Chains A and B, each alone.
Chain A
Amino acid sequence: MKDRNHLSDVSLTHKVSVIDKGLVDIPMLQILQPDGTPHSDASLPELAQEAVLKIYRTMRFIRVLDERMVAAQRQGRISFYLASTGEEAASVASAAALEPQDMIMSQYREQGALAYRGYSTEAFMNQMFSNEKDPNKGRQMPIHYGDKALNFMTISSPLGTQIPQASGYAYGQKMAGQPAVTICYFGEGAASEGDFHAGLNMAAVLHCPVIFFCRNNGYAISTPAEEQFAGDGIASRGLGYGIKTIRVDGNDAFAVYAATKQAREIALAENCPVLIEAMSYRLAAHSTSDDPTGYRSKEEEARWQAKDPIVRLGNWLKAKGWLDEEQDGKDVDQMRQDVLNELKRVEKVPVCGIDDLVEDVYDTPPWHLKEQLEELKQHIRQYPDAYPKTSGRL
């Protein structure tokens, strides 16, 4: 039997010792200043022109997609949307620091990571229109993407559930001897869920190569961060779990890239979790069902608009001579056109046939589902006008 002493690292005091906040200063990594000028003492990540342009263009694309789809929701063409305006660097630049074999388990505002992996405009549209071409078979609300080929786990709505799941997934990758990690995205609001505690603690104790990437964007719907937690953000919690932790400026693509790259190296080399807290701001509404004017000021939003991550990287690219302003404008026009064209085309694609209603509940539909499906078909035949999406294809 192993002899243990859980007091071995505990020092003694002879007076009541109250530990107050401020013991550890957790600085925020920033490489580019808000105007795009690098800090003189910061080292830029080693990225070739094409690599930086891919990050930049993906961010641009997501901004365009978000604007277009919010408008589509307003027009009643899709039921729901959730933009990531102002947070594009956090998802895109972190995904850029990963390898394709790394699993992404996201919350719901990481469309940038998915686009970086190569999810096409058509694939985005198929999911949002819940049509038969969506590999998720149109079963979830818009923005709940998932693509096995891209190692992007299908998103679920309950908050924080992906956190312990990412620990388990990473443990499996380690056991299989794969040179891969799992990245798990979530917001500072979701970090209040019990699953956050469970997932981080398990990852630390069980040595799971997982990157916990928290987007601290200041708001959980309308609840500001100061009503969400009293400690020093989310980063301070990493220390309590014995998890290596980095705080980074989430609006600085280079800082996000550098932090994630190093986190990945640590996670893989040491078989351990790393927590990243990316400080950002949700310039968008929480979703199309939300109206931020009820809980924050225009002035506050304007202060963060001045820190726009796309403008910041764009300025750096232009100063470097890697981006032509006129071409950039044409690229964005083209993106807008592509998104619009795909939207118009895809909204005509039908939904899955009625048989798919009972598929994938189990590996094969059991007796009661087969019975219920047959009864339903009979009913649809009786009232075909009431069920126009499926009655023509029974």
Chain B
Amino acid sequence: MAKMNLLQAINNALILAMTENDKVMVFGEDVGHFGGVFRATSNLQEKFGKARCFNTPLTEQGIMGFANGLASQGSVPVAEIQFGDYIFPAFDQIVNETAKWRYRSGGQFSVGTLTIRTPYGGGIAGGLYHSQSPEAYFAHTPGLKIVVPRNPYQAKGLLLASIRDDNPVLFMEPKRLYRASVGEVPEEDYELPLGKAEIVTQGSDISLLAWGAQMEVMEKAAEMADKVGISCEIIDLRSILPWDVETVCQSVVKTGRLLISHEAPQTGGFASEIAATVQERCFLNLESPIARVCGLDTPYPLAHEKEYMPDHLKVFEAIKRTVNY
């Protein structure tokens, strides 16, 4: 075991993947000698050479197009989009190409080896264009997997699993936690399963569901709830697509209540999808309406960031409302 922050855990996973397999290549804007603007790819170029870890020109659609071609050739690209907010020039390549490659060719060709890494989320005074959580756009696209880790241990295990998974994975990294989240991480190789949620804390009155950086908020709110006698079960969804309906529904059957929280705007957010599915399956088990605590339906603000965020106080209030419905 070693103490690592989330960035170091990602860097460690990339080193393991690149050491194990010559076909793994890491590229994106500034990821070369500089090691990326957040330093997730530090020293990779020195260790593995410029041919396997390299800067690209500043073109997200180019990075993803290049990555698609490279993956279809049989290489294992790990492409970085510097901020989730800048993934949209690559939207066509991801939605129309990456996600449909295998399907449209009847399984003859595939870009299953591809992993797209991108930092997401707010809380860093990043305003409109350094704070967004674009997971729901991609969750609407069959053919993609979407994975979000919440801490260094998860980041390493999930990233290794994503790189080795035979499907294209969008790996969204909570950038607020890059250095803030520090924990014990095994130095050896390990994987955590994709498509599986994790029950972080057992509880009996309400299930709290979130992912990534929002998990800390849920834990804080659950502590407050505990002090007023409400027992919360906390679930980390970990994979947005495909998501673990079984674990979530089992928890809801047990607690009878569900609260879902994400930073992304509420309307059309992934909480909506979960709520719809859970009410279909657990209608008679529900003691109260499913609660959503999300970002407002505004662009991500700067001066009012604190007010916009679905923080622990908003979650705590929603817990009480739901339990006392």
Contact assessment for A147 and B245 in the assembled complex, using a CB-CB cutoff below 8 Å? no
B59, A363: Cβ atoms closer than 8 Å: no
Near B by CB (< 8 A), chain A positions 149-189 give 153-154, 156, 158, 161, 163-173, 175-176, 182
Identify the stretch in B69-77, B198-206, B220-228, B314-322 within 8 Å (CB) of chain A at 4 or more residues. Answer: B69-77
B46-68: which residues lie under 8 A (CB-CB) from chain A? 51-52, 54, 56-57, 59, 61-62, 64-68
A153 to B97, CA, bound (A): 12
Q: Could you tell me the distance in whole angstroms from the C-beta of A268 to the nearest C-beta in chain B?
A: 16
User: How far, in angstroms, from A154 to B145 measured CA to CA in the complex?
Assistant: 22
- Does A197 touch B at the CB level, under 8 Å? yes
Beyond A144-B104, A147-B108, A363-B112, is A165–B68 a contact (Cβ under 8 Å)?
yes
Q: How far is the CA of A199 from the CA of B107 in the complex (A)?
A: 25
Report B-chain residues with C-beta under 8 Å of the C-beta of A202. Answer: 56-57, 59, 62, 65-66
Whether B70 contacts A153 by the Cβ 8 Å rule is: no
Are the CB atoms of B72 and A164 closer together than 8 Å? no
Q: Is the CB–CB distance between A206 and B54 below 8 Å?
A: yes
B127 within 8 A of A: no
C-alpha gap A168/B76 in the complex (Å):
11
With both beta carbons as reference points, the residue of chain A lying nearest to B241 in the complex is identified as A366
Q: Which of B88-96, B155-163, B173-181 contacts A (4 or more CB under 8 A)?
A: B88-96
Q: Which residues of chain A are within 8 angstroms of B246 by Cβ–Cβ distance?
A: 367
Say yes or no: A194 contacts B105, CB within 8 Å: no
Are A368 and B242 in contact (CB-based, < 8 A)?
A: yes
Closest Cβ neighbor of B106 among chain A residues? A137
> What CA separation (Å) do A166 and B73 show in the bound complex?
10
Q: Would you call A201 an interface residue if the criterion is a C-beta within 8 Å of the partner chain's C-beta atoms?
A: yes
Shortest distance from the beta carbon of B242 to any chain A beta carbon, whole Å: 4
Contacts of A170 in B (CB 8 A): 69
A362 within 8 A of B: yes
Complex Cα–Cα for A170 and B62 (A): 14
Residue of B nearest to A149 (CB): B108
Q: Which of B54, B74, B104 has the most CB of A within 10 A?
A: B104
Look across to chain A and name the residue whose beta carbon is closest to the beta carbon of B74: A172
Q: Which of A137, A154, A169 is within 8 Å of B69, CB to CB?
A: A169
**A205 on the interface (CB 8 Å rule)?**
yes
Given contacts A146-B108, A158-B96, A175-B25, contact A165 B62 (CB under 8 A): no
What B residues does A103 contact at CB under 8 A? 73
* B70 interface neighbour in A171, A205, A362, Cβ under 8 Å: A171
Q: Is B129 on the interface with A (CB-CB < 8 A)?
A: no
Q: Does A249 belong to the interface (CB within 8 Å)?
A: no
Number of chain A residues close to chain B: CB under 8 A: 49
Most B-side CB within 10 Å, residue of A165, A175, A201: A165
Q: Which residues of B contact A167 (CB under 8 A)?
A: 62, 65-66, 69
How far apart sit A136 and B107, CA to CA, in the bound complex (Å)? 7
Q: Is B195 an interface residue (CB 8 A)?
A: yes
Q: Is B106 a contact partner of A136 (Cβ separation < 8 A)?
A: yes
Are the CB atoms of A164 and B66 closer together than 8 Å? yes
In the bound assembly, the distance between CA atoms of A366 and B89 in angstroms comes to 29
CB–CB B61/A146 < 8 A = no
Shortest A284–chain B CB gap in Å is 24
A308 on the interface (CB 8 Å rule)? Answer: no
Quick check: A148 and B109 within 8 Å, CB to CB?
Answer: yes
Question: A105-118 toward B: CB 8 Å interface, digit per residue (1/0)?
Answer: 10000000000000
Query: When the two chains form their complex, are residues A197 and B59 in contact, meaning their CB atoms are under 8 A apart?
Result: yes
Asked whether A361 lies within 8 Å of B69 as measured between CB atoms, the reply is no
Number of B residues with CB within 8 Å of any CB on chain A? 49
* Bound-complex Cα distance A367 to B69 (A): 29
Known: A169-B72, A197-B59, A205-B57. A136 touches B102 (CB 8 A): no
Q: Are B105 and A206 in contact (CB under 8 A)?
A: no
Residues from chain A with a CB closer than 8 A to the CB of B261 are none
A148: chain B residues at CB < 8 Å are 105, 108-109
Structural contact, B105 and A175, CB atoms closer than 8 A: no
B104 CB to closest chain A CB (Å) equals 5
- A366 touches which one: B56, B67, B195 (CB < 8 A)? B195
Given the complex of chains A and B, what is the CA–CA distance between A369 and B108 in angstroms?
A: 20
Q: Is B39 an interface residue (CB 8 A)?
A: no
Instruction: Answer yes or no: B103 CB below 8 A from chain A CBs.
Output: yes
Inter-chain contact B73/A198, CB cutoff 8 Å: no
B166: interface (CB < 8 Å): yes
Contact indicator B109/A153 (Cβ below 8 Å): yes
Question: Which residue of the partner chain B has the closest CB to A172?
Answer: B73
B71 and chain A: residue at smallest CB distance: A168
Contacts of B71 in A (CB 8 A): 168
- Compute how far the CA of A176 lies from the CA of B72 in the bound complex, rounded to whole angstroms: 13
* B143 CB within 8 Å of chain A: yes
Q: How far is the CA of A194 from the CA of B75 in the complex (A)?
A: 24
A336 contacts the other chain (Cβ, under 8 Å)? no
On whether the beta carbons of A156 and B96 are closer than 8 Å, the reply is yes
Question: Does A195 contact B96, Cβ atoms closer than 8 Å?
Answer: no
Is the CB of A360 closer than 8 A to any CB of chain B?
yes
- Flag whether A374 is at the interface (Cβ < 8 A): no
For residue A359, CB closer than 8 A to chain B, the reply is yes
Name the residue in B51, B66, B103, B242 with the highest tally of chain A Cβ atoms < 10 Å from its Cβ.
Answer: B66
How far is it, in angstroms, between the C-alpha of A252 and the C-alpha of B107 when the chains are bound? 37
Task: Return B26 CB to nearest CB of chain A, in Å.
Answer: 13
The answer to whether A198 and B107 have CB atoms under 8 Å apart is no
Given A156-B96, A165-B68, A206 and B56 contact (CB-CB distance below 8 Å) = yes
A-B contact pairs, 18 of them (CB 8 A): A144-B104, A147-B108, A153-B72, A156-B96, A158-B92, A164-B64, A165-B68, A165-B97, A168-B66, A168-B73, A169-B69, A169-B70, A172-B73, A175-B75, A198-B66, A202-B59, A361-B142, A363-B166
Q: Nearest 3 pairs between A and B by C-beta?
A: A164-B65, A198-B62, A168-B69
* A interface list, Cβ under 8 A from B: 103, 105, 134-137, 139-140, 144, 146-148, 153-154, 156, 158, 161, 163-173, 175-176, 182, 194-195, 197-199, 201-202, 205-206, 359-363, 366-369
Other A-B pairs beyond A154-B104, A156-B104, A164-B64, 8, CB < 8 Å: A146-B109, A154-B101, A164-B62, A167-B65, A168-B72, A168-B77, A202-B59, A202-B65
